[in-house]
């Protein structure tokens, strides 16, 4: 398939059928080089007909935009509540947990009513305030510069405290889960802090509604090898769940 018009029509048809295309598959199907396919994808992106991704293209924008915590509060709120309740079972016998920032993390804090003493380590002001007078909960609030968009701290002061503590379970929210790129958020400073939190935890749990899949934030947090569980809602495609579990991560669907 040497004609550029035919190639572009073929790529767009595959995009309409599958939602995304893969460079390797396209080279096999069209009998042209990977260089040619990459040029085709760039031309189509320049015309706003697709978004280029690592290894292919997508009909949906894979890059997560940063929103304030107040904006996020009303997005998929019902799913977030279900995810938070399902995540509670993963605390198990841990007497110390770490809760990251974000609206799903706040939902987790709202429904956390432990029967025994638990220490909660968090960079998120809303989480700390929610739990500050909760029975059986002791809060270790990380310090540092407060980011207005997330009402959460990031930076060297918080990282310094994390270097000297450990916790049983870490609960993190993300802006993107991509099978090639891993887990990411939109802010680099918070991404670095999240990496430090992962280092302190024995078990890492990602809480993310289905809108976060096949998306990327600018700051990578970690790969699949560093995550033990992903808790999400029932709108995630079965093939994505299968591919994540093949990477050694247990996926929990919140009912």
Domain contains 64: no
Q: What is the CATH number of the domain that holds 13?
A: 1.10.10.10
For the four alpha carbons of 44, 179, 246 and 85, in that order, the dihedral sign comes to negative
pLDDT at 238 (0 to 100): 93
- Looking at the domain assignment, is residue 127 inside a domain? yes
pLDDT of residue 52: 83
The span from the first CA to the last CA of the chain, in angstroms, equals: 47
Mean pLDDT by 10 residues, the chain (255 residues): 83 86 90 89 84 81 58 69 96 95 95 96 96 96 86 91 95 94 91 95 97 89 97 94 97 95
H-helix or E-strand containing 144? none
Instruction: Print the domain residue range for 194.
Output: 69-253
For the chain, the domain total comes to 2
Claim to verify: residue 74 and residue 42 sit in the same structural domain: no
**Residue-level pLDDT at 214:** 87
Q: What is the pLDDT of residue 60?
A: 72
Do residues 160 and 206 share a domain?
A: yes
- 157 and 133 fall within a common domain: yes
- Does residue 97 sit in the same domain as residue 192? yes
The whole-number pLDDT of residue 220 equals: 94
C-alpha to C-alpha distance for 133 and 129, rounded to whole angstroms: 8
pTM of the model: 0.74
Q: Is residue 53 part of a domain?
A: yes
Residues 154 and 248 in one domain: yes
> Tell me, what's the pLDDT at 46?
83
pLDDT for the residue numbered 94: 92
The 3-state DSSP class for residue 239 equals helix
Contact 33, 27 (CB under 8 A): yes
The answer to whether 192 and 230 have CB atoms below 8 angstroms apart is no
Q: Is 243 exposed, middle or buried (0-12, 13-18, 19+ CB in 10 A)?
A: middle
Last residue of a domain, one of 34, 58, 82: 58
Q: Is the domain of 138 the same as that of 217?
A: yes
Residue 99 sits in the same domain as residue 53 = no
Residue 94 maps to a domain: yes
Residues 39 and 164 reside in one and the same domain: no
């Amino acid at each position: 398939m040497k004609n550029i018009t035919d190639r572009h029509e073929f790529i767009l048809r595959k995009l309409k059928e599958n939602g995304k295309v893969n460079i390797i598959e396209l080279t096999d199907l069209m009998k042209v080089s990977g260089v040619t396919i990459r040029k085709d994808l760039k031309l189509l992106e320049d015309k706003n007909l697709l978004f280029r991704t690592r290894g292919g293209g997508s009909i949906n924008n894979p890059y997560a935009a940063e929103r304030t915590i107040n904006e996020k509060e009303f997005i998929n709120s019902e799913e977030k509540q279900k995810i938070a309740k399902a995540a509670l079972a993963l605390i198990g016998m841990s007497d110390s947990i770490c809760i990251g920032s974000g609206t799903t993390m706040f939902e987790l804090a709202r429904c956390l009513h432990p029967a025994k003493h638990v220490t909660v380590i968090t960079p998120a002001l809303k989480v700390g305030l929610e739990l500050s007078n909760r029975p059986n909960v002791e809060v270790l609030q990380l310090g540092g510069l407060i980011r207005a968009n997330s009402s959460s701290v990031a930076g060297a002061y918080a990282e310094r405290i994390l270097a000297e503590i450990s916790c049983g379970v870490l609960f993190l929210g993300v802006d993107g889960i991509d099978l090639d790129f891993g887990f990411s958020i939109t802010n680099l400073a918070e991404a670095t802090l999240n990496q430090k939190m992962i280092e302190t935890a024995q078990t890492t749990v990602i809480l993310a509604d289905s809108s976060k899949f096949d998306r990327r934030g600018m700051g990578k947090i970690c790969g699949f090898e560093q995550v033990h569980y992903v808790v999400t809602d029932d709108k995630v495609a079965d093939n994505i769940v299968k591919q994540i579990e093949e990477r050694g991560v247990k996926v929990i669907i919140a009912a």
